[in-house]
């Protein structure tokens, strides 16, 4: 019995020591909570910012200079001097149609011109001699006039022969198909040896230095667009703008197929884009100033959105839950339509832990990057 009483005494002492340790470890926090100590929160003052009314659409890039090349003569393809997709310069020869027959015709025309020039020289000398003889009375007027007429005829024949040579030279030039401007060669559907006519498509040349973007927008949105003022942005895979250009065209009528309105903007291509490419675009219909509420300062209860403002209470600063009406999302902030005024102090940290009327210790918000980190979870259904 004595041993049992000793063990019981020891157990009692250990139990009291354990309670003392727990009280020592939990005491300060419990004391602070029991005393209702204010919660430290970061706050910002609401200020106006830029809000853009935008719409995103799929657009298509169009070359401002594109041409489909066809031969102006018939014949067989003798040579193809470029490859599809190759960058070419203005005047560079792309394809050659067999010109041998035309070269032969040119040589014949040049021979005829040489003969006409020789006849012209002879006729001119004859006319000069006839004029001398006529002045000396050794030739009749009829013979003199005949010599003058023969010289005039020889001149006409020489001019006609020269014109024929020039015509053959121009015609021979058609057998070499060249680039009308610098650009990129498209597909080449023909091959060496193929017979071609003036209706045969040889290739295309696109210039991607100056491009247009074509977008189709709803008719109710088209009334908000202004030529020269409404910008169109081309977006990358992350949604960031890489090109911005104002509209230069808004179709006056709807497309019969899509019932949408076509709008176009032109820009200098410095982003390596290609004609025919489909791109993600954003049309900025309107830019205005409005109050912006960071997303991490918003909490939700059902379908209603709230923000916690910091106001003076009986014992100091307290958090006050205010219903807000939000507009569109602009970056990392909502457009604030109703509920708060400019200059209002709004909590942006620990929102998920706040309760209506809770004492708080406000401090200025950290820089933007730190705010985003501190506000993670702020858009949850806090305060339920």
List, for residues 327-366, the tens digit of each pLDDT value.
888 878 999 999 999 999 999 998 888 998 889 999 988 7
Element spanning 373, H or E: helix 368-374
Helix (H) or strand (E) holding 126, with range, is helix 100-135
Residue 14 CA: distances (Å) to CA of 8, 9, 18, 36, 313 = 10, 9, 6, 33, 46
Q: Is 121 left (phi over 0), alpha (psi -120 to 50) or beta?
A: alpha
Distance, in Å, from the CA atom of 330 to the CA atom of 310, rounded to the nearest integer, reads 24
Residues in contact with 57: Cβ distance below 8 Å, sequence separation at least 6, in sequence order:
215, 216, 217, 281, 282, 283
Residue 292 tokens read as 């912006």
Q: Is the pLDDT of residue 161 over 90?
A: yes
What residues form DSSP beta bridges with 216? 262
Residue labelled with tokens 């958090």: 319
- For residues 359 and 38, the answer to whether their CB atoms sit within 8 Å is yes
Domain at 99-174: CATH code: 1.10.287
Fold of 38-53+289-374: 2.40.420
Q: Of the given ranges (58-72, 228-242, 278-292, 368-382), which has the lowest mean pLDDT?
A: 368-382
Which has the higher per-residue pLDDT, 137 or 12?
137
Give the residue from 205, 193, 192, 201 showing the smallest Cα distance to 81.
192
Q: Where in the chain are the domains? A: 38-53+289-374, 55-64+207-285, 75-97+176-190, 99-174
CA 61, CA 267: separation in Å to the nearest integer?
10
The 10s digit of each residue's pLDDT in 80-127 is: 999 998 999 999 999 999 999 888 999 999 999 999 999 999 999 999
In CATH, which of 3.40.50.150, 2.130.10.10, 2.40.30.170, 2.40.128.20 is domain 55-64+207-285? 2.40.30.170
In tens, the pLDDT along 20-58 reads 444 444 433 333 333 457 899 999 999 998 888 899 999
Other C-beta atoms closer than 10 Å to the C-beta of 154 total: 21
Q: pTM of the predicted model, to two decimals? A: 0.56
Question: Please, are residues 361 and 39 in contact by the beta-carbon 8 Å criterion?
Answer: yes
């Amino acid at each position: 019995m004595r041993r049992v009483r000793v063990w019981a005494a020891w157990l009692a002492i250990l139990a009291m020591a354990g309670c003392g340790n727990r009280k020592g470890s939990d005491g300060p926090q419990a004391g602070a909570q029991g005393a209702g100590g204010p919660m430290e929160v970061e706050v910002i003052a609401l200020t106006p910012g830029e809000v853009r009314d935008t719409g995103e659409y799929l657009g298509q890039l169009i070359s401002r200079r594109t041409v489909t090349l066809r031969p102006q003569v018939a014949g067989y393809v003798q040579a193809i001097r470029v490859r599809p997709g190759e960058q070419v310069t203005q005047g560079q020869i792309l394809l050659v149609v067999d010109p041998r027959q035309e070269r032969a015709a040119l040589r014949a025309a040049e021979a005829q011109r040489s003969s006409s020039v020789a006849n012209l020289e002879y006729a001119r000398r004859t006319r000069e001699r006839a004029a001398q003889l006529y002045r000396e009375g050794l030739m009749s007027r009829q013979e003199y006039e005949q010599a003058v007429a023969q010289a005039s005829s020889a001149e006409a024949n020489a001019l006609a022969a020269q014109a024929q040579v020039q015509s053959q030279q121009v015609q021979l030039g058609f057998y070499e198909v060249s680039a009308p401007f610098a650009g990129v060669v498209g597909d080449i559907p023909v091959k060496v040896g193929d017979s071609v006519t003036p209706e045969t498509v040889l290739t295309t040349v696109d210039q991607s230095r100056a491009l247009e973007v074509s977008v189709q927008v709803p008719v109710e949105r088209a009334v908000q667009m202004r030529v020269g003022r409404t910008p169109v942005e081309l977006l990358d895979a992350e949604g960031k703008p890489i090109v911005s250009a104002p509209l230069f065209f808004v179709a006056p009528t709807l497309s019969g197929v899509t019932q949408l309105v076509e709008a176009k903007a032109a820009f200098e291509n410095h982003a390596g884009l290609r004609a025919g490419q489909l791109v993600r675009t954003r049309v900025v219909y309107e830019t205005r100033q409005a109050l912006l509420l960071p997303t991490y300062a918003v909490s939700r209860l059902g379908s209603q959105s709230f923000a916690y403002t910091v106001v003076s209470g009986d014992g100091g600063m307290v958090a006050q839950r205010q219903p807000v009406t939000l507009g569109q999302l602009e970056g990392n902030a909502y457009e604030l339509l109703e509920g708060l005024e400019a200059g209002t102090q709004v909590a942006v940290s620990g929102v998920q832990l706040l309760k209506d009327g809770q004492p708080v210790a406000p401090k200025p918000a950290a820089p933007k990057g730190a705010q985003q980190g501190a506000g993670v979870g702020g858009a949850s259904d806090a305060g339920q």
